[in-house]
Amino acid sequence: MSAEIAIEDGRIRATTLPNGFRVVTEHMPFVKSAALGVWVGAGSRNETLAEAGLSHMLEHMAFKGTGRRSARGIVEEIEDVGGDLNAYTDYEMTAYQARVLAEHVPLAMDIIADILRDSTILPEEIERERQVILQELGERNDMPSMVAMETLQEIAFPDQPLGRPIIGSRESVLSFDRGMIAGYLDRHYVPSRMILSAAGYVDHDAIVRDAERLFGDMPARDAIPVEPGVYAPGRRVTVKDSEQAHLVFGFDAPDSRDIEAQFRAQTAAGVLGGGMSSRLFQEAREERGLCYSIFSYADAFADAGLMTVYAATSAEQSRDLSALILDVLARTADDVTEAEANRARAQSKAGMLMALESPMRRAETLARQISLRGRPFAMNEIEAIIDSVDAASVREALRAILDGPAPSAVYLGPDGGGLPDGLADAA
């Protein structure tokens, strides 16, 4: 067993098993429940072009039966004790989660280990779930805002796994078979990429013992490296018969390797469009009535980042609103006030602390910290990083974005609208 990490007076502990499988827990003494799961460092950016959407398909298939449990048996067993199971896939991780009362943690761990290690992946279940995912894909394609945001990701990271939709395409989903799914599982679900994280009324030593029994015999193997994420500016205009025009701008931003730069970018995004008092909301909606919805945020991946501005407006106002977004960004880089930085910082801190009152959010945060940075962070460490962001550092973050590559931009909406001239064309 490798040396343990313990912080927050021992409430947060992390242990690595000999095969590289990691366990992190946070004991929350004032709750009676627990949230736990296995976060696997394999998502859509681990896929080849032919495998696009395979991580998401595997997440669905995990619940369709094991050697010991039927699909119905899995959900009945957890719901018999009042718990629930869930899962999700993103660009860099796939998570398999459970919420239970504290006394049922061993059962939840056993079920999660079972679906990860002994899923039957039957051909008839693949076909059934394929149809479910095609329906999900159709539903997403009927949501213009989501299509616009996925288009931005595609043109900002062209011809890369990081630029492809997590759900895949109709063509790729139709191509999946048992061999592809089982092969992907074998290649990417290796102990060094798997983190069991639990928060709530949990006992770290007991969870480690169960983890050793359930996952300790997995052979240690090196993880397959992912293709680097490389930002490239692009532009795409798509005419669609819809009531609203959807505008999305993307800017090259810091990745997760520099946590201070990441939080500076997040605070800058908060100043721009993080709430009703933000610059974009006040100028675009309140003062000029150019839109109903407008906001911004910053995403940080393992080796790439993207600050995004989204707005919905009319086709006739799309160019005026686009020009205003770029103008507000340029002006904000020069004249952010301490009051604005303080407000965005307070929003960031309050949002984080409120979210982390949930055991599941805490378990997820710990898993992501371990995955990205190799260790859990104490709450006061994160608060200190947020508190260090002042107006000068927000201006620095925005200036770095403006001095970097050109923005990517998407227009999706009725004929007659579009984007400002001078933006780079999409590849």
How far is CA 166 from each of CA 3, 45, 306, rounded to the nearest angstrom? 36, 8, 16
Contact 35, 199 (CB under 8 A): yes
Collapsed DSSP state (helix, strand, coil) of residue 66: strand
Please state, in angstroms and rounded to a whole number, the distance separating the CA atoms of residues 164 and 168. Answer: 7
Torsions phi, psi of 240, nearest 5? -140, 140
Per-residue tokens: 20: 């590289």
How far is CA 40 from each of CA 126, 161, 321, rounded to the nearest angstrom? 21, 17, 40
Strands of the 5-7 sheet, one edge to the other: 5-7, 12-16, 22-27, 194-200, 33-40, 94-101, 84-89
- Structural Rg of the chain based on CA atoms: 23
Q: 47, 51, 59, 129: which one is catalytic?
A: 59
59 is catalytic: yes
Per-residue tokens: 350: 């309050």
Type of residue numbered 298: A
Neighbours of 273 (CB within 10 A): 24
Name 59's Cβ contacts closer than 8 Å, sequence gap at least 6.
87, 88, 89, 94, 96
Please state, in angstroms and rounded to a whole number, the distance separating the CA atoms of residues 71 and 93. Answer: 23
Count each helix (H run) and each strand (E run) in the chain, helices first: 15, 12
Torsion of Cα atoms, 315 then 319 then 323 then 326, to 10°: 60
Q: Any idea which residues carry the catalytic annotation?
A: 59
